[in-house]
Chain A
Amino acid sequence: MRRRAAAALLLCAGLAGSAAAQGLPAAQRQSGFESMSPSTQAMQRDDDANPGMLSVRDGEARWVRPDGAAGRACADCHGDARVSMRGVATSHPRWDATLGEAVGLSRRIALCRERHQRAPRGAPEGVERLSLSAFVAHASRGLPVRPDPDVRLDPVRERGRRLFERRMGQLDLSCADCHDARWGRRLGGATIPQGHANGYPLYRLEWQALGSLQRRLRNCMAGVRAEPWPADAPEWVELEAFLQVRGAGLPLETPAVRP
């Protein structure tokens, strides 16, 4: 009975059109930066105090270093990332025609390394991929998040939206319960942000390190006492693709700092 009611609700949500599908109205959208303390905001703004910049510089060094069996560096094909990579991070995930699936920025880098440098793809949360992702995304800092208009991504985003609205875990909460319905209110000592993904990979003071969006999402799932999906599950990129639409227009902040 309950399942049927839920299905009816989903159907209604589907009929309500694109405004509902994108979550918060554009005028209300705000980055998690806005709800941070002034000192954490200052840390993010100052490139000499933002610890994420250590990873950006590390990624810059890796960008020009030849690697893999092909003995080529990223820069040998792509040149100066500040020019060639400008805007790239604002429109990922994108559709990969070879794989026939959506691919986020970090995985795109891993695929490029595998296909063109013939180098190992590296662990998803390893320093190499995080640093390179931070460096590539940094080239788009300040540009608005702009979801790829490719229609092949639409079903991926739709699945992501359903995941965002699906209750999970022992606390039986969906992402939307907190980040759509209760943003700006308090959860313990912290302000609930809208949960946008416009600063990844980002430096979290709690982690004492730079981390990926997937790591953050795993934290949130553990927080509602749900079991996170396996690392290579398609759900991660589906959710990321929906978050991209939901946060469209917000400026990219990589490397953001968050408490």
Chain B
Amino acid sequence: MTTGALVRVPPRARRGEVVEITAMAAHPMETGLRPGADGRLVARNIVHTFTCRYDGAEVFRAELHPAVTANPYFAFTTVATRSGPLEFRWEDERGEVIVATATIVVE
């Protein structure tokens, strides 16, 4: 299984600017309906929650359900208020967590 995540956060922004953020994690999003190579169903395992925290405060949250593509991709906006880290977190049904971070400098 491929691992990791790709996030895009503008490295710099003006205070009050609306910035676009994109995030994509490597995840198969197994529906539980698909037969594997041995003909038996592959157990369901999807990312159920995605969150983004900006300098500690949650700015985006999504609940995911079956029929979302593998390697789910999110694009959303937030207001650049202050310099700080953005933490991205994907949690799947097996309890595994994918984490990615990026930093924005606000002037």
Contact = CB atoms under 8 A, between A and B. Distances in A.
Q: Which of B5, B22, B73 has the most CB of A within 10 A?
A: B73
B45 to A, nearest CB: 14
A48 B75 CA distance: 10
A127 B3 CA distance: 10
Nearest to B22: A48
A205 B71 CA distance: 11
A131 interface: yes
A48 B2 contact: no
Contacts of B104: none
B69 A53 contact: no
Contacts of A193: none
B85 to A, nearest CB: 18
A182 interface: no
B24 interface: yes
Contact of A51 (B7, B8, B22, B71): B71
B8 A48 contact: yes
B50 to A, nearest CB: 15
B4 interface: yes
A124 to B, nearest CB: 14
Interface residues of B, number: 17
A208 B70 contact: yes
Query: Which of the listed residues B22, B24, B69 has the most CB atoms from chain A within 10 Å of its own CB?
Result: B24
A57 interface: yes
Interface string B1-35: 11111111000000000000010101011000000
Given A53-B6, A54-B6, A48 B26 contact: no
Given A53-B6, A55-B2, A208-B70, 14 more contacts: A48-B7, A48-B8, A49-B22, A49-B24, A54-B6, A54-B26, A57-B4, A58-B3, A61-B4, A127-B2, A131-B2, A208-B28, A208-B69, A209-B28
